[in-house]
A = this chain, B = another copy of it.
């Protein structure tokens, strides 16, 4: 079984191997995927710049690949990494630092820890 690039770029979910937190999502073409396997660091394809992109090449915030999983349709990857510094270009540890509140509004803040999730959940449910 091979990865299915027929529908275009493949989304890769990047998870912190130690904490289990989802850090970011980026896209891979076949070349980015091959480079990731070869170098054991994450490579993506930038949709806006339309170029191959070695994560951390300019920022130094590389991601060491610990494991790669593939989904049932072979068109999504789940990559567990050991991150060197923040994943997000804003300097946040994870790109998912904002949440959607109960009324659909965006709430700023680091919602990556379970504790804050619980608070947020209560907020959404109320």
Q: Which residues does A use to contact B, with CB under 8 Å?
A: 1, 7, 11, 13, 15, 17, 20-22, 24-25, 37, 40, 47, 65-74, 76-78, 80, 88-90, 92, 95-100, 104, 106, 111, 114, 117, 120-121, 124
Contact = CB atoms under 8 A, between A and B. Distances in A.
B69 A37 contact: no
Contacts of A70: 96, 98-100, 106
Each complex incorporates copies of this chain amounting to 2
23 contacts: A1-B98, A7-B47, A13-B25, A20-B21, A25-B76, A37-B100, A67-B99, A67-B100, A67-B120, A68-B100, A69-B96, A69-B99, A69-B111, A70-B99, A70-B106, A71-B96, A72-B89, A72-B95, A72-B98, A73-B95, A77-B100, A78-B96, A80-B117
Contacts of A76: 25, 95-96
A67 B111 contact: yes
Nearest to A119: B67
Contacts of A20: 20-21, 114
